[in-house]
Amino acid sequence: MSQLAMKKMAAEAALAYVKDDSIIGVGSGSTVNCFIEALATIKHKIKGAVAASKASEQLLRKQGIEVFSANDVTELDIYVDGADEINPQKMMIKGGGAALTREKIVAALAKTFICIVDQSKQVDVLGSTFSLPIEVIPMARSQVARQLVGLGGFPIYREGVVTDNGNVILDIANFTILEPMAMEQALNNIAGVVTNGIFALRGADIVIVGTPEGIKTL
Ligand code: 5RP
């Protein structure tokens, strides 16, 4: 079975958590794109969505789903998003699509974070397969990179990428994260870092994994 088919399966299974008349938090990435397509089939049942990226916002509007600003809502029932890696404690690395900051903001508004992934995203230790993205204020790029080296990382500038917030991305390669909560906090304390891609302090509540054998819900 293809990776896309597994992503679609996970995305469609997330529809079961969508409550009538609710506003849904929607992340970004290819798995979320499948979710937006699936959401369109029940769009008459929901009020709309808050999007975590300009790309998701466009796709939601294209499907005829109303998009609300994060400032318009005090709480979301669910937030549905993909991940680049997820560990057994439901902590994640995100930001492969450079949308990590808005993803963290919308996730923080939600009562329940539903992570939809194909089975290739499951890891025992975060950082084992995917580089850790860090969103950085452009003028602080070199200074932040030096501090990341001090933490044992090997930051690589994601050239040509500007985030929806006008910032740049440094990806830390080969960065094994043994204590995700402590590392998330430590990285947040570096001046010039807007957000880091560790989602441990606020991890997922429900994980829906698409596998060749069907859906697994954790
Ligand atoms: C974007 C993200 C995505 O959720 C993550 O990159 C997973 O993407 P995909 O569903 O395309 O595999 O964090 O910033």
Roughly what angle, to the nearest 10 degrees, separates helices 3-13 and 30-40? 50
**Residue 83 among known ligand-binding residues:** yes
From the CA of 117, give the closest atom in ligand 1: 10
- To test the ligand 1 pocket, which listed residue (84, 85, 106, 165) has its Cβ within 8 A of the most ligand atoms? 84
* Rounded distance between C-alpha atoms, residue 175 and residue 159, angstroms: 20
| Distance from Cα 154 to the centre of ligand 1, integer Å | 22
Taking only the tens place, the pLDDT of each residue in 17-64 is 999 999 999 999 999 999 999 999 999 999 999 999 999 999 999 999
Determine the Cα–Cα distance for residues 34 and 10; give it in Å rounded to an integer. Answer: 9
Q: Is 31 annotated as a binding residue?
A: yes
Give the binding-site residues of ligand 1, using a 6 Å CB cut-off.
Answer: 27-31, 81-84, 94-100, 103
Distance between CA 4 and CA 205 in Å, rounded? Answer: 23
pLDDT band at 193 (very low <50, low <70, confident <90, very high): very high
Closest residue (by CA) to atom 1 of ligand 1? 97
Ligand 1, residues 2, 3, 8, 32: which to mutate, most atoms within 8 A of Cβ? 32
Tell me the fold of 132-197.
Alpha-Beta Plaits (3.30.70)
pLDDT digits 0-9 by tens, 53-104: 999 999 999 999 999 999 999 999 999 999 999 999 999 999 999 999 999 9
Q: Which residues contact 63 (CB under 8 A, 6 or more apart)?
A: 36, 37, 39, 40, 43
The reply to whether CATH 3.40.50.1360 applies to domain 3-121+201-217 is yes
The answer to whether the beta carbons of residues 158 and 170 sit under 8 Å apart is yes
List the residue whose alpha carbon is closest to atom 5 of ligand 1. Answer: 83
Q: Is the ipTM of this complex over 0.90?
A: yes
Distance, CA of 82 to CA of 37 (rounded, Å): 15
> What is the overall mean pLDDT for the chain?
97
Q: Tell me if 205 is assigned to a ligand binding site.
A: no
CA distance 45 to 93: 32
Provide the residue ranges of all domains of the chain, joining segments of one domain with +. Answer: 3-121+201-217, 132-197
> What is residue 159's predicted lDDT score, i.e. its pLDDT?
96
pTM for this prediction: 0.95
Q: Is 152 annotated as a binding residue?
A: no
Q: State the greatest distance between any 2 C-alpha atoms of the chain, in Å, as a whole number.
A: 52
Residues with Cβ within 8 Å of residue 142, at least 6 apart in sequence: none
Taking the centre of ligand 1 as the mean of its atom positions, its distance from the CA of residue 83, in whole angstroms, is 5
